[in-house]
Amino acid sequence: MARKIRHIPKVVTKLYRKDFYHQPGTLPGTIFIDENAEPPTIFLIDYNQTNFIRKQIATPEECAPYLDTESVSWVDVQGLGNQDILQRLGRVFDLHPLVLEDVVNVPERPKIEDYEDQLLFIARMVVPKDKTCGFYSEQVSFILSKNYLLTVQEEPEHDCFEGVRVRIDRNKGIIRKQRTDYLAYALLDAIIDGFFPVLELYGERIEELEEEVMVNPTRQTLQNIYQVRRELLQLRRAIWPQRDAINSLIRDGSELIGEEVRIYLRDCYDHAVQVMDMVETYRELASGLMDVYLSSVSNKMNEIMKVLTVVSSIFIPLTFVAGIYGMNFNTEKSPYNMPELNWYWGYPICLAIMAAIAFALLFFFWQRGWLKNSSTIKPD
Amino acid sequence: MARKIRHIPKVVTKLYRKDFYHQPGTLPGTIFIDENAEPPTIFLIDYNQTNFIRKQIATPEECAPYLDTESVSWVDVQGLGNQDILQRLGRVFDLHPLVLEDVVNVPERPKIEDYEDQLLFIARMVVPKDKTCGFYSEQVSFILSKNYLLTVQEEPEHDCFEGVRVRIDRNKGIIRKQRTDYLAYALLDAIIDGFFPVLELYGERIEELEEEVMVNPTRQTLQNIYQVRRELLQLRRAIWPQRDAINSLIRDGSELIGEEVRIYLRDCYDHAVQVMDMVETYRELASGLMDVYLSSVSNKMNEIMKVLTVVSSIFIPLTFVAGIYGMNFNTEKSPYNMPELNWYWGYPICLAIMAAIAFALLFFFWQRGWLKNSSTIKPD
Amino acid sequence: MARKIRHIPKVVTKLYRKDFYHQPGTLPGTIFIDENAEPPTIFLIDYNQTNFIRKQIATPEECAPYLDTESVSWVDVQGLGNQDILQRLGRVFDLHPLVLEDVVNVPERPKIEDYEDQLLFIARMVVPKDKTCGFYSEQVSFILSKNYLLTVQEEPEHDCFEGVRVRIDRNKGIIRKQRTDYLAYALLDAIIDGFFPVLELYGERIEELEEEVMVNPTRQTLQNIYQVRRELLQLRRAIWPQRDAINSLIRDGSELIGEEVRIYLRDCYDHAVQVMDMVETYRELASGLMDVYLSSVSNKMNEIMKVLTVVSSIFIPLTFVAGIYGMNFNTEKSPYNMPELNWYWGYPICLAIMAAIAFALLFFFWQRGWLKNSSTIKPD
Amino acid sequence: MARKIRHIPKVVTKLYRKDFYHQPGTLPGTIFIDENAEPPTIFLIDYNQTNFIRKQIATPEECAPYLDTESVSWVDVQGLGNQDILQRLGRVFDLHPLVLEDVVNVPERPKIEDYEDQLLFIARMVVPKDKTCGFYSEQVSFILSKNYLLTVQEEPEHDCFEGVRVRIDRNKGIIRKQRTDYLAYALLDAIIDGFFPVLELYGERIEELEEEVMVNPTRQTLQNIYQVRRELLQLRRAIWPQRDAINSLIRDGSELIGEEVRIYLRDCYDHAVQVMDMVETYRELASGLMDVYLSSVSNKMNEIMKVLTVVSSIFIPLTFVAGIYGMNFNTEKSPYNMPELNWYWGYPICLAIMAAIAFALLFFFWQRGWLKNSSTIKPD
Amino acid sequence: MARKIRHIPKVVTKLYRKDFYHQPGTLPGTIFIDENAEPPTIFLIDYNQTNFIRKQIATPEECAPYLDTESVSWVDVQGLGNQDILQRLGRVFDLHPLVLEDVVNVPERPKIEDYEDQLLFIARMVVPKDKTCGFYSEQVSFILSKNYLLTVQEEPEHDCFEGVRVRIDRNKGIIRKQRTDYLAYALLDAIIDGFFPVLELYGERIEELEEEVMVNPTRQTLQNIYQVRRELLQLRRAIWPQRDAINSLIRDGSELIGEEVRIYLRDCYDHAVQVMDMVETYRELASGLMDVYLSSVSNKMNEIMKVLTVVSSIFIPLTFVAGIYGMNFNTEKSPYNMPELNWYWGYPICLAIMAAIAFALLFFFWQRGWLKNSSTIKPD
């Protein structure tokens, strides 16, 4: 039993321990490569209103020619598993050592930072896992400059940017007419909107738990509620700083963000606020469920105790009466020794008394409402 | 039992899952038509101090001639079930793509946004369902311009604007002398005041639950308390951003809001604050009820346990005494083998001892106050 | 039982349902007359340093001559039961329709509003009911102008202004030397100080409940704690906005408030803060009491269970032993069939074994501390 | 039992009821003399770098000659029991009526107020009572002027100013070189630092309660936790406004506070923040203890129930078996009537079956871990 | 049992009682030497881009020659056990008496203070103890000036500065090219990053507790949860003011902090925010665990009660039936006296009835789901 459960925390461990960890006492700007991380693959998309290039490139240096052209260059790095490539990337894009540290030493808290002609935006992307079990969470770093946008993703598997790539490719909407700031907005918007399907799953799980907790609360229910609370806490830590970062992007943003894109970012900010709103609502519901669980368990105990009490309180006195007439006092030694045993109607009277006691107690319990089952729930 | 309850969450589902959902990765400004949405019907009211026109129109384009006149034009669209009409509406009123998205892709969080010569106000209207079961909630979007007001309602059934229509029609109050800003205020005020009847119902439900939880707490009570808490959470999410939006309408509002109307909006803001106040109060009461419920259940268990303990503790020792004299030790083999059985007063003495034990225990329980029923509540 | 309790909520009903209710969809400025409201009676006090007039007047129009004189005129209207008089009052004092609505359509949330040469202050006055049962709550509206002060009270019965009237009459303190702003301060101060006796009652009730919940918690205690929490919530809603309103009176107040009176208002503000402070403290105590209640009930159950367990665990094994020797195996058929029954010392040995079992169990329970009564409370 | 506890609230009563009470409807500036208050005694300390006078004086008027000299005059009034003297004090020091009211009508909330050339600072001083029972709390009012400092203490018994008096007397530190502002700082610092010994006692009590609640939670424990929470609430209400007052003394302080003294006040402010910090920490611990208490009680109940269940579940079935063979069916009427009674191995087989049942049940309970005592706590 | 636990609080005591304690009524600037404190040892590191000196020095005066040179001098004092040396240190570095007090009279709350040409930064350093038992906490004071940095550590044992010393020694990174402000940053960063390993331990402990509380909650679990909550409270009090201090270092910092170092401090601030974030998350989890614990205990009690109820409810009625036929009514006196005893099929029928009753009850309990063990948890 205990052995089975031991597997669960392992899923959780990663969420905790890796969140926001920094090796103490190291040189600022030092980067750490997780040995399990996949090697980076680099994709380049370069476009303007008329042209469009999309290709995978082998080395960071290949980007260099595209960066200073007037066309918008989007370099998307996926995977953090090679120190050499990452450091060369830092040189090609002329990144401050602290920027490179933030980008590589994941997980970092979502934030925005302004470096002269670059803007660093650390975002957190979530992707729903499957119907039952949480979400994948991944850091995406944006380095926004006038002519290029560098995005670095933690791992290549999950990604919610495909819609944007298609829009660039097929020239849908205004994206090809806009600059890097709009591209950054479009990706950020995809990340924020990516929280909604995850939240939808939690909405469904909470509904299931509501039913479970009312109808048949078990230990499993308790564990599930706790699990949901913990994962919502996780989500809240992901969206809260992101919302603040978008807000300061709108208000204090550098010249890199155009006036028109600010309107779009306002929309994106609204969505982030809505995500926050839902996360908080779900957290309150989940926390309310814990109370309901405890009450439900107490309620069930009441039911159990009622059965025990009714049965015991009726039969224990009856058994006592039967016990009396099972005593072996010698009726022959004295007329006072259990004369009832020799009465003509002794046994029927005895049974009648027992029945009377039983009915009296039943009436007493019925009057208190202990005989009806109070645990049924009427459909609303 | 379980099957019956399965219907309940379905009512709730809609409230949750649809709240603030955005399709990830789509083009900004994309609008989604819910297949169950009813097709839009468009009503036009055009008035000034002397004239009044009210008619249903078939196509958005029919509004066009009214929009630039000096008279106040109120175009009221009800229902979001036709993409073509909605997009034509966007063109007629020259709406920013993001505005149209906010208006059509309901539900959106209440907010205010300023677009040059238009003001977008997203409001949430609630209508009480019936005595037992919550409220209908619907988004109403206002697009306010100098000469016209466009309102878009989610569905045509529920509406709390009839009073305003009548005031325009019959020229009651100052509405015909005022401009679009006053009209927007009047409608907004009707929406905010529409929260009061809903809250009144919750006040009544909480009173009923208070009585229930004190007198006879069942599982149903628990579920009802939880349900009320959840719906109040819903209400709070509707009114909170609305209040903030009205506040920024008063303070940072564009030139579209006249000085005089600001005074009226201040009144409307006061009402919104009062709604907030009541929602918070009800939430605190409902949350307090949960505590009371748990205590009440524990209390009831105490009562049950007392009965069990009193009955068991009295009769189990007596049964033991009876059991002793039911033993079959052979009195003939030894004078020490149950000589009591052959005593002359054996049986009466035995009964007397039993009675003494019973009375001693009863006295013990009476002294502890376990014999009186502590569950009665004196009328206050 | 249930029928008796049904009376309680009725007392409460009014507090809830009427608090801050606005009829949706009505003309702003519309006033509603509660059919149970008492007709207004109007009192006029007009004074300066040398003269003093105090009289009851029949119609609002009679005030008119006093309003423009240099002397201070205090018109005090008590009762809201006549629409005609109230509207004539509005005309005499030249009230904005929204002001009249706020004044008449009680209850309104305490607030301050600045209308050119008038200042509207909505206050809430509380008067202790009696030792056991809450407080009366009534709205008092102040309309302050340069030469007059109009106060409108919800009902004529309760009033905490008599002290001020006496001070004007007998020329005590500096009130006759001051203007309307000082008069308004004096009345407001009386209202705020009127919260203290109410709070004193709650202090006493909480003390009683503390004792009750420790010594003998019953369902009644639970209900009382909940009732106190609910009423303190009520008080908080009354004092909180009042404090804010006084604060903005001091800071942003119009020219109608003199510099010297501001110092007095600061004192009044301090008192409001102290009331808040006490309300919050009492709320925390009452909420802590709920926890104590639940723990106390659990504690009592522990006591009950201990008795049940000790009694059952001792006598059930003994009864089993007695049951064994009450079996009817035929001792004549076999030497192995209950030979004990025929032993010479059979019965005494049996009794000795039983005593040994009982003492062993008693020792076990004594060792665990279950025999001593842990529910007594030492005096502190 | 109940009678003993009745004494406890009396200790508490004073803390509550007198805190922040204002007689409604009285003239502002009216002072109330508590009949139990001790008559004021007045001490004068007058010093500069070279001279030092310390004497008790009989009437307030005797101070007058010292007030206008260049030397620093500290007038310390202890006790509030004589209206005449207090009003003469007000005249000698030229106090605003509201200042005198704040000083005399204790308790007042800690605050700072600026009156032209005087600064009023209301502080609250706490002195630990003894090891078991809370603290004395007393108001100290400072009236700071250029050349004198008037302090008014509520009662003469407790005082934490002796250290400062000694420093002046013996010319320790820089106090004799400084003006009244430094003196006020020194006294205020003594008051703030006076909170630390009180908090130390609470730290110890919480530790004791932690042990008690884990090892042997009784009703007394519950009461003690509640008591600590209540007293910490008291402390918080004393220190919170004090901290704010010191802060505004530093920031908005009048010219009466020199630049150098502001640095010292910053230190004093730090200490006040630390007191707050500890009070909040202790409050969280005490509130956590309540949860632990409830869990501990439930835990104990589990232990009790386990014993009951194990004993009952083993012996009740055995007793049933014994009961069967205690039945008196006539074995002679039929071969099917309890033939076991006449078997040769009847009794031994019966005992063996009983033993088998008992062991099976014991195994069942052992498997579930109900036989080991889970209530022991390993030393950490 | 109780004696064993008595050792635990002793570990805790120090954390509480010494935190933020100030001797009331003492001269400001007085320093207290804890008799257990170790005597101070002084280390000097002096470096510029080319030179590097590292030595232990005996007296504070030996530092003097280094302080005014252009090279960066880092004087690191470890241990607070000698009043004379500390006061000489104060003279050598020209420390304000309040600075010396803050540095020596540990513990002080983390803060920053600006003294003309010195900057005082009080930090709190934590070092993980071992896998099971909390952390060491130590105050580190920074006195930053243009050419030197003085750091004072509470005790010499634990230290997280070795990495920085190595970087200076081996000339790694840019530290040798920078001034004292960068050195202060590097040390501060080491302190902040030192929180992460401590938090990692708590993450692991919470995971263990989660498993324990679900699978087998004991009293020990409860104590451990409480212990974790208390220690996290401790951590929070350490990191919260530290974060604020770093923030004001960045924003309002004096000229002593260069522009470039501010960027690094921003990074350090981010880490402090992340530590806060994790502490808060862990606190929420630990507080949620308390709820889970209580529910788990209730759940276990339900299981226990079910067993008791099922066993008792089945066997008590059966025993009653057996008791009836154990009665000794004289069958010869009357045909109505227990004729069943003499029936041919009496005994088998009796057994059959008993079996029927038992099966009926089992069916009843099975239907309610009381026979299956609801306490197993499926692996997720």
| A176-211 residue pLDDT tens | 999 999 999 999 999 999 998 899 889 888 989 998
**CA triplet E101, E102, E108: central angle to 5 degrees?**
135
Best to test chain A binding among E291, E296, E362 (most A CBs inside 10 Å): E291
Gap between the Cα atoms of D207 and E9, Å rounded = 7
Strand residues in chain D grouped as ranges (E)? 41-47, 52-57, 72-78, 111-115, 118-128, 135-144, 148-153
**Omega cis (within 30) before D107:** yes
Question: What is the structure's pLDDT at B369?
Answer: 81
Going E344 to E350 to E351 to E355, the CA torsion angle's sign is positive
Chain E: closest CA distance from residue A270 (Å): 24
For residue E272, pLDDT beyond 80: yes
Helix/strand/coil for C82: coil
How big is the A-E interface in CB pairs under 8 Å?
220
Gap between the Cα atoms of C193 and C278, Å rounded = 13
Gap between the Cα atoms of E195 and A23, Å rounded = 10
A308 to chain B: nearest residue by CA? B308
> Which residues in E lie closer than 8 A to residue D207 (C-beta atoms)?
9, 12-13, 16
> Which residues in D lie closer than 8 A to residue C284 (C-beta atoms)?
233
For residue A104, pLDDT beyond 80: yes
Gap between the Cα atoms of C40 and C82, Å rounded = 7
Question: What is the structure's pLDDT at D229?
Answer: 92
For residue D253, pLDDT beyond 80: no
For residue B171, pLDDT beyond 80: yes
Residue B137's φ and ψ, nearest 5 degrees, are -130, 135
CB contact under 8 A, B193 and C23: yes
Chain C: closest CA distance from residue B322 (Å): 9
Q: What band does B38 get if pLDDT is binned at 50, 70 and 90?
A: confident
Question: What is the structure's pLDDT at B328?
Answer: 87
| E61-109 residue pLDDT tens | 998 888 888 899 999 999 998 889 999 999 999 998 889 988 988 888 8
B302 touches chain A (CB under 8 A): no
C316 touches chain B (CB under 8 A): yes
Rounded alpha-carbon distances, angstroms, from residue C225 to C192, C285, E161, E290: 25, 10, 56, 25
Best to test chain B binding among C132, C309, C315 (most B CBs inside 10 Å): C315
Helix/strand/coil for A127: strand
Chain A: closest CA distance from residue B48 (Å): 35
pTM, rounded to two decimals: 0.85
Rounded alpha-carbon distances, angstroms, from residue C173 to C49, C178, C261, D29: 12, 10, 14, 9
Best to test chain B binding among C226, C235, C284 (most B CBs inside 10 Å): C226
What tokens appear for B252 in the block? Answer: 């940072």
Nearest C-alpha neighbor of A86 from the set A37, A25, A137, A138: A37
Tokens 């008619």 belong to B55
Question: What is the structure's pLDDT at A276?
Answer: 93
C317 to chain B: nearest residue by CA? B320
Q: What is the arithmetic mean of pLDDT over E257-263?
A: 89
Question: What is the structure's pLDDT at A3?
Answer: 35
Rounded alpha-carbon distances, angstroms, from residue B225 to A206, A295, B130, B286, E13: 17, 12, 18, 6, 43
How big is the C-D interface in CB pairs under 8 Å?
224
- Check residues E161 and A4 and name the one with the higher pLDDT: E161
E83 touches chain A (CB under 8 A): no
Q: Are B124 and B139 in contact (CB under 8 A)?
A: yes
> Which residues in D lie closer than 8 A to residue E307 (C-beta atoms)?
309, 313
D188 touches chain E (CB under 8 A): no
Q: What is the arithmetic mean of pLDDT over A12-32?
A: 60
Question: What is the structure's pLDDT at C114?
Answer: 87
Which chains neighbour B (Cβ–Cβ under 8 Å, 3 or more pairs)?
Answer: A, C
Q: What band does E374 get if pLDDT is binned at 50, 70 and 90?
A: low
Gap between the Cα atoms of A129 and B185, Å rounded = 46
E313 touches chain A (CB under 8 A): yes
CB contact under 8 A, B193 and C26: yes
| D196-231 residue pLDDT tens | 889 988 988 898 999 889 888 888 899 999 999 999
**Side-chain half-sphere of E338: how many Cα atoms within 13 Å?**
30
Gap between the Cα atoms of A14 and B224, Å rounded = 39
Residue D23's φ and ψ, nearest 5 degrees, are -65, 120
D316 touches chain C (CB under 8 A): yes
Residue A70: burial class (beta carbons within 10 Å; 0-12, 13-18, 19+): exposed
Residue A137's φ and ψ, nearest 5 degrees, are -130, 135
CB contact under 8 A, C322 and B317: no
Tokens 């918007």 belong to A189
D300 touches chain C (CB under 8 A): yes
B346 touches chain C (CB under 8 A): no
Chain C: closest CA distance from residue B290 (Å): 11
Residue E22: burial class (beta carbons within 10 Å; 0-12, 13-18, 19+): buried
Q: Are E53 and E59 in contact (CB under 8 A)?
A: no
Tell how far CA D335 is from the center of its chain. Answer: 80
Strand residues in D145-183 grouped as ranges (E)? 148-153
Starting from the edge strand earliest in sequence, which strands make up the sheet with C52-57, in order?
C52-57, C41-47, C72-78, C148-153, C135-144, C118-128, C111-115
Taking only residues 149 to 178 of chain C, the set having a beta carbon closer than 8 angstroms to any beta carbon of chain D reads 160-164, 167, 172-173
Helix/strand/coil for E19: coil
Going C354 to C356 to C357 to C363, the CA torsion angle's sign is positive
How big is the B-C interface in CB pairs under 8 Å?
223
- Check residues A30 and D46 and name the one with the higher pLDDT: D46
| A55-78 residue pLDDT tens | 999 999 998 888 888 899 999 999
What average pLDDT is seen over chain A?
A: 85
Taking only residues 205 to 264 of chain E, the set having a beta carbon closer than 8 angstroms to any beta carbon of chain D reads 216, 218-220, 222-223, 226-227, 229-230, 233, 237
Nearest C-alpha neighbor of B342 from the set E327, A323, A332: A332
Question: What is the structure's pLDDT at E172?
Answer: 86
For residue E131, pLDDT beyond 70: no
**Omega cis (within 30) before E9:** no
Residue among C11, C133, C342 whose CB faces B330 most closely:
C342
- Check residues A282 and E254 and name the one with the higher pLDDT: A282
For residue B99, pLDDT beyond 70: yes
Residue among E233, E312, E343 whose CB faces D316 most closely:
E312
> Which residues in B lie closer than 8 A to residue A204 (C-beta atoms)?
17
CB contact under 8 A, A16 and E207: yes
Give one word for B61, left, alpha or beta, with left for phi > 0 and alpha for psi -120 to 50: alpha
Residue among A98, A218, A348 whose CB faces E263 most closely:
A98
Nearest C-alpha neighbor of E114 from the set E211, E256, E213: E256
ipTM of predicted assembly, 2 dp:
0.81
Q: What is the arithmetic mean of pLDDT over E199-208?
A: 89
> Which residues in E lie closer than 8 A to residue D333 (C-beta atoms)?
342-344, 346
CB contact under 8 A, E341 and D328: yes
CB contact under 8 A, C297 and B295: yes
CB contact under 8 A, E323 and D328: no
Helix/strand/coil for C214: helix
Helix/strand/coil for C216: coil
With a cut of 70, list the residues of chain C below it in pLDDT. Answer: 1-25, 131-133, 253, 373-380
Nearest C-alpha neighbor of B307 from the set A316, D337, A33, C293: A316
CB contact under 8 A, E377 and A290: no
Q: 3-state secondary structure string, chain B?
A: CHHHHCCHHHHHHHHHHCCCCCCCCCCCCCCCCCCCCCCCEEEEEEECCCCEEEEEECCHHHHHHHHCCCCEEEEEEECCCCHHHHHHHHHHCCCCHHHHHHHHCCCCCCEEEEECCEEEEEEEEEEECCCCCCEEEEEEEEEECCCEEEEEECCCCCCCCHHHHHHHHCCCCCHHHCCHHHHHHHHHHHHHHCHHHHHHHHHHHHHHHHHHHHHCCCHHHHHHHHHHHHHHHHHHHHHHHHHHHHHHHHHCCCCCCCHHHHHHHHHHHHHHHHHHHHHHHHHHHHHHHHHHHHHHHHHHHHHHHHHHHHHHHHHHHHHHHHHHCCCCCCCCCCCCCCHHHHCCCHHHHHHHHHHHHHHHHHHHHHHCCCCCCCCCCCCC
**Side-chain half-sphere of E377: how many Cα atoms within 13 Å?**
24
| Cα dihedral A210, A212, A217, A218 in deg (nearest 10) | -120
List CB contacts of A236: < 8 A, sequence separation 6 or more. Answer: A276, A279, A280, A283
Chain B: closest CA distance from residue A91 (Å): 32
CB contact under 8 A, A271 and B22: yes
Chain E: closest CA distance from residue D88 (Å): 31
Q: Are D151 and D145 in contact (CB under 8 A)?
A: no
Gap between the Cα atoms of E65 and E163, Å rounded = 27
| B45-81 residue pLDDT tens | 999 998 899 999 999 999 888 988 889 999 999 999 8
Question: What is the structure's pLDDT at C253?
Answer: 64
Taking only residues 256 to 285 of chain A, the set having a beta carbon closer than 8 angstroms to any beta carbon of chain E reads none
